[in-house]
Structure 1
Amino acid sequence: MTIREAANTLRFPERKFVQWLLMNGWCYRRAGHKSLLAYAEKVKDGYLYLKQTPIQDVHTGEERLSEQVRITPLGLTVLARRLSREGLQVDVPAGMLAPASRTQLGGERRA
């Protein structure tokens, strides 16, 4: 789901949600660009992915990639837990805070 959809699902203001993602190492912006990009660690953990779509620039006619961060269902669950644990006011849908394994939450695996 998009960042806007995730913020709406969590009933958390979108701008504050984007700021939280930036400040907590989930996303970043390239210098001089507005769009968000996902950190590789969060992609590898299965929380985020980067949707890339080839588009044609209307001004130059050149083809380029449009990139958009998407949040996976697992990522949404982890975000809901982190935000509520930090005491931020989120309205989490029922079942989203059900117990999960430490590996799903990005914790260490122990043998």
Structure 2
Amino acid sequence: MMIGSAAVRRDEAGRFCLNDLHRASGGERRHQPGEWIRLGQTEDLVEELAKSADPRSYPIDTRVGRGGGTYVARELVYAYAMWISAAFHLQVIRAYDQLQAAPAGPSALVALDDPATLRGLLLTYTERVESLQARVHHQEPQVRALQQLSGADGAFNITTAAKMLQIKPRQLFAWLEQNGWIYRRAGSRNWLAYQPRLNTGVLSHKAIVTSGSDDVQRVHEQVLVTAKGLTRLGELINREQLGWTPADHTRGQQLAVPA
């Protein structure tokens, strides 16, 4: 989709890149996608869309690395654009209408009549298959370990989850905050999970009792990453660099904190 001279990418599920939309809107700091994602009304909208969404196509998906960004369903694109301004909202609506009205490309049958085109398509397809097979072979141990862990009992604090994902804890805290998984209330140092993340079972809360210098006991909630959440993070945060092994899975279960 083109908005002015800016191209907005789509992923394989048809979701649009919010980061591209942010740049197309002018790229103001106050309009960063993370600020919009943290809004209560955004959480409610995502939750409503998730009820009727295809399980394979969640309304919002965030990925890192090459081609990364936050990708959202069309309804969320409209909501984000409206949050920025009425003018940008109208611009996005017109861009989407233009995208839908664009004529389809050349007929596949016409292309296959050309021997050179057919040969090129076959070569490209073969290269893609070989590349996918290599990636599947490389990722098989990681995928198997993540699948095993997804069925494990218990949950992990964020520092432990970061160690298991082989990234620094401060990087995971920053990622979770920027991508609408956790937040802090004004004046508080404690992290809390956004309600949609609790509803989908990727995060949970645990009550922690602490004693201050005045010997008064206080109760606060600690955010835990569930086994399901750890699996999801493993898929989102550059799985190719995780290097999971069966030993990692065993160590992870030993470190599990009962939910």
Structure 1 residue identity aligned to 2:159: R
Q: Relative CO higher for 1 or 2, CA cutoff 8 Å, sep ≥ 6?
A: 1
> Residues 52, 13 of structure 1: CA spacing in aligned structure 2 closer, same or farther, 3 A cutoff?
same
> Residues 52, 33 of structure 1: CA spacing in aligned structure 2 closer, same or farther, 3 A cutoff?
same
Aligned to 1:32: 187
Aligned to 1:74: 228
Whether 2:122 is the aligned partner of 1:6: answer no
Q: Distance in 1 between matches of 2:209 and 2:167?
A: 31
Correspondence for 1:42 among 193, 197, 200: 197
Offset of residue 79 of structure 1:
0.7
Aligned-pair RMSD on alpha carbons? 2.0
Aligned to 1:93: 244
TM-score normalized by the length of structure 2 = 0.32
> Residues 92, 21 of structure 1: CA spacing in aligned structure 2 closer, same or farther, 3 A cutoff?
farther
Find the structure with the greater CA-based Rg: 2
The structure whose residues are more often strand, as a share, is 1
TM-score normalized by the length of structure 1 = 0.72
Q: Is the 8 A contact 1:80 1:92 kept in 2?
A: no
Correspondence for 2:176 among 13, 17, 21: 21
User: What are the ranges of 5 or more consecutive residues in structure 1 without an aligned counterpart?
Assistant: 96-111
Q: Is the 8 A contact 1:12 1:90 kept in 2?
A: no
Give the secondary-structure state (helix, strand or coil) at the position aligned to 2:237: helix
The structure whose residues are more often helix, as a share, is 2
Offset of residue 58 of structure 1:
4.2
Offset of residue 64 of structure 1:
2.9
Offset of residue 11 of structure 1:
0.5
Q: Distance in 2 between matches of 1:73 and 1:92?
A: 17
Runs of 4+ in 1 over 6 A off after TM superposition: none
Give the secondary-structure state (helix, strand or coil) at the position aligned to 1:65: strand
Offset of residue 43 of structure 1:
0.6
Q: Distance in 2 between matches of 1:21 and 1:76?
A: 12
Offset of residue 65 of structure 1:
1.5
Q: Is the 8 A contact 1:10 1:90 kept in 2?
A: no
The total of aligned residue pairs comes to 91
